[in-house]
Copies of this chain bind each other. A is one copy, B any other.
Amino acid sequence: MSDGLLVVISAPSGCGKDTLVAGAMKKMPGECFLSVSMTTRNMRPGETQGVEYIFVSRDEFLKNIEEGNMLEYAVYGSNMYGTPIAPVKKKLSEGKTVFLIIEVEGGGNVKKIFPEATKIFIVPPSMEELESRLRGRKTDSEEAIMNRLCIARQELQRAEEYDYIVENDNLDDAIDDILAIVRAQKLSINKMKNKVKEVIYNA
């Protein structure tokens, strides 16, 4: 058992998971770490190595998989995306709360390696609201929006694999929900066993 808390966040596209995690981390300055994914896709203008992603070659990515360095990974289109395990372990050993934003697909694998991970699934207030948010972005074609909604519905079916459900209706409320979950998890008996022993035996 590591000292820190591993928090896995998944959500259908358009549910605001990145904004939510950024908001929650802002309210816990110095206590958190956001895991940066590794990818084989090309760096885009304005992106920085190690900030948005750790950009590597396909060979390097495959070598990391072979060597067991990846917590989870997946292929999207012609590119690979995944989570290197080492920084997560390091930050957990420092007692940090580590946020991991991953696809629903990767969730199961994380739970195998870190059974004590706290898994949060973000849901939209409704499918209509999700659709209107996706349209509001004005980045996707009609076909892409329909595709995202279809995938969202499939992903929502797997919400029961998660420990907590946070509805992102009001952003501030949803951030406070995440903060409450993190606070409560730190008070769970698994994390507090040592405190109890300390009280009993250090007297």
CA distance A179 to B177 in the complex (A): 11
The 5 closest A-B pairs by CB, nearest first: A127-B203, A165-B192, A184-B184, A180-B183, A180-B180
Instruction: Name which of A156, A166, A187 has the most chain B CB atoms within 10 A of its CB.
Output: A187
Identify which of residues 153-203 in chain A touch chain B, using a CB-to-CB cut-off of 8 Å. 153, 156-157, 159-160, 162-167, 176-177, 179-181, 183-185, 187-189, 192-193, 195-196, 198-200, 202-203
Identify the closest chain B residue to A185 (Cβ): B184
* Residue A109 interfacial (CB < 8 Å): no
Hey, which chain B residues are within 8 Å of A165, CB to CB?
A: 187-189, 192, 195-196
Q: Known contacts A166-B187, A184-B184, A187-B165; decide if A160 and B193 are in contact (CB<8 Å).
A: yes
A interface residue count range (under 10 / 10 to 19 / 20 to 34 / 35 or more): 35 or more
* Residue A84 interfacial (CB < 8 Å): no
* Residue A128 interfacial (CB < 8 Å): yes
Number of identical monomers bound together in the oligomeric complex: 2
* Residue A124 interfacial (CB < 8 Å): yes
* Residue A126 interfacial (CB < 8 Å): yes
* Residue A100 interfacial (CB < 8 Å): no
* Residue A5 interfacial (CB < 8 Å): no
* Residue A123 interfacial (CB < 8 Å): yes
CA distance A203 to B124 in the complex (A): 11
Q: Known contacts A123-B195, A196-B159; decide if A187 and B164 are in contact (CB<8 Å).
A: yes
Identify the closest chain B residue to A119 (Cβ): B189
